[in-house]
A and B are shown apart, each in its own frame.
Chain A
Amino acid sequence: AQSVTQLGSHVSVSEGALVLLRCNYSSSVPPYLFWYVQYPNQGLQLLLKYTSAATLVKGINGFEAEFKKSETSFHLTKPSAHMSDAAEYFCAVSATGFQKLVFGTGTRLLVSP
């Protein structure tokens, strides 16, 4: 079975500061891992995905994530936060590619001027 833990339901940063959103996973098989972003009143948009290729994955909007098997982690980072990054971010895991995603509880990113 797969599960995801996102540490911190809310993360606050200043504009221009580093963004770090934490995700730890549990999987009985080599996992597929994803980060999605949700803007208010919208659906989920894929930021990036890990599918057993490179461990450092680059996504859209300047975000990237590093797969660390020894730490069972897939933390999301961005060097410099923008106001437009304020949204809710979800980490998800799947054992079968993109089908049957198991989501974390989400982290709301707040960006202050």
Chain B
Amino acid sequence: NAGVTQTPKFQVLKTGQSMTLQCAQDMNHEYMSWYRQDPGMGLRLIHYSVGAGITDQGEVPNGYNVSRSTTEDFPLRLLSAAPSQTSVYFCASKGTSSNQPQHFGDGTRLSIL
């Protein structure tokens, strides 16, 4: 059981470049989320989705786009990378029952030069 798979694990970009961080889950979970983790700030919610075709903004959505065309996939797009987006990005998913926990991927470490 793969759980939540994030690719790539590491990436270096130049300012202004675009990129898509991939997230896939094989647990048939309806809820999926993207967080960014920065030193001393914990994890902050970027965007989330409650099902295919439905997305919404979290706490820090600026500079990021998402879409949810399938239950399994929830890609995060940086349209024009900025140094402030240097961070570790985590994708998470959970089922619809309130007793089910969020399952996290291992993260993507992104550096913007």
Contacts and interface: CB of A to CB of B under 8 A. Distances in A.
Interface of A: 4, 9, 32, 34, 41-46, 49, 51, 90, 97-106
A17 B69 CA distance: 50
A105 B110 CA distance: 20
A61 to B, nearest CB: 15
Nearest to A43: B104
B23 to A, nearest CB: 11
A49 B50 CA distance: 21
B100 A104 contact: no
Contact of B106 (A32, A42, A49): A42
A81 to B, nearest CB: 23
Interface of B: 4, 31, 33, 35, 40-45, 48, 50, 58-59, 90, 92, 94, 98-102, 104-107
A51 B98 contact: yes
A99 B104 contact: no
B106 A100 contact: no
